[in-house]
Amino acid sequence: MKLILLGPPGAGKGTQAKMLTDRFRIPQIATGDILRGAVQAGTALGLQAKSFMDAGALVPDEVVIGIVRERLQQEDCSAGFILDGFPRTVAQADALQATLAGLNRRLDRVISLTVDADALVERLTGRRTCRNCGRGFHVLFDPPRQEQLCDACGGELYQRDDDREETIRKRLTVYAQQTSPLIAYYQAAGLLTELDGMQAIADVQEQVLAALQAA
Ligand code: ADP
Ligand code: AMP
């Protein structure tokens, strides 16, 4: 299965992607996770990306396109993949299409999660992320069994620097301006399923699985 999860920051893409990777044994390709890993490791990529990420802006297209192009050619993507947080611009979507065509592959489905702006802010301010495996939790909506520790790997949970209200507002504006046109883009391609992301995590999961079965 070759899938894109589309939606604003906080819509639940990472939460649903983790569930899908466990279930279908295909990798989650989250450009945000890859970039945060590079920042933490202090690589040239990380140095290049950090100022954009801190400002809540998008990292330049050519940088993320290069990352994804390389990642999609790795062996573990042969049975499929879940793109989470990519594409975020029409240029990225065009580049993805070209890359997949070159590999003789096609997307099966694009699932767009719709969530109200107020709920997004509430979700992002309460999000806690595992420093080790990147899994997300929420202090109220999806609390870890043990405070500050990841259920999956025991790693330390932290609050992302960009999950503070001022940067969140900026990221939501960036989404509206640069990423939301992808809804019409994938609708026109006949690949889009829009789901109500306002429901509880388990109910969204059920809808995602139903959409994939129909794909
Ligand atoms: P995204 O990857 O789209 O930025 P996440 O999956 O990290 O979003 O979810 C953002 C926050 O909202 C996390 O703290 C997560 O635990 C929580 N969350 C995800 N889905 C839901 C949901 N359906 N209802 C309530 N909270 C949710
Ligand atoms: P995320 O973890 O998806 O919320 O992404 C965190 C940050 O990483 C974003 O605010 C951007 O600065 C950067 N980023 C992640 N994915 C992309 C992308 N596809 N294009 C540009 N920037 C990205």
6, part of any domain? yes
Asked whether the beta carbons of 107 and 113 are under 8 A apart, the reply is no
| 25 is a domain residue | yes
Nearest CA to 3 out of 98, 65, 81, 114 is that of 81
Task: For ligand 2, say whether the CB of 171 is within 6 Å of any of its atoms.
Answer: yes
Distances (CA, A) of 164 to 10, 76, 97, 124, 146: 12, 34, 34, 8, 23
Which protein residue has the closest C-alpha to ligand 1 atom 5?
A: 12
Q: Whose CA is nearest to atom 14 of ligand 2?
A: 32
pTM listed for this prediction: 0.97
CATH at 16: 3.40.50.300
pLDDT above 80 (res 40): yes
pLDDT for 25 beyond 80:
yes
Residue 12 lies in a domain: yes
Domain assignment of residue 105, given as a range: 2-117+179-214
Cis upstream peptide for 87 (omega within 30°): yes
42 in any annotated domain = yes
Among all bound ligands, the one having the nearest atom to the CA of 115 is 1
Q: What is the pLDDT of residues 105-123, one digit of tens each?
A: 999 999 999 999 999 999 9
Q: How many domains does the chain have?
A: 1
Token pair, residue 150, equals 């990841």
CA 52 to mean position of chain CA atoms: 17
Distance CA 28, CA 82 (A): 5
Domain assignment of residue 122, yes or no: no
Compute how many other C-beta atoms are within 10 angstroms of the C-beta atom of residue 54. 12
State yes or no: is 106 an active-site residue.
no
Structure tokens of 7? Answer: 């939606």
Tell me the best of 58, 159, 175 to mutate to test the pocket of ligand 2, counting ligand atoms within 8 Å of each CB and taking the most.
Answer: 58
190, part of any domain: yes
Per the domain annotation, does 198 fall within a domain?
A: yes
Edge-to-edge strand list for the sheet holding 136-138: 136-138, 127-130, 157-158
**Lining residues, ligand 1, CB within 6 Å:** 7, 9-15, 123, 126-127, 136-138, 141-142, 199-201, 204
Among the listed residues 13, 18, 36, 123, the single catalytic one is 13
Ligand that lies nearest to the alpha carbon of residue 126, given by its number in the listed order? 1
State residue 214's pLDDT score: 82
Pocket test for ligand 1, best of 6, 15, 196 (most atoms within 8 A of CB): 15
Q: Distance between CA 104 and CA 98 in Å, rounded?
A: 10
Tell me if 16 is assigned to some domain.
yes
Measure the CA–CA gap between 166 and 163, rounded to whole angstroms. Answer: 8
Q: What is the pLDDT of residues 123-140, one digit of tens each?
A: 999 999 999 988 999 999
**pLDDT at residue 215, rounded to an integer:** 74
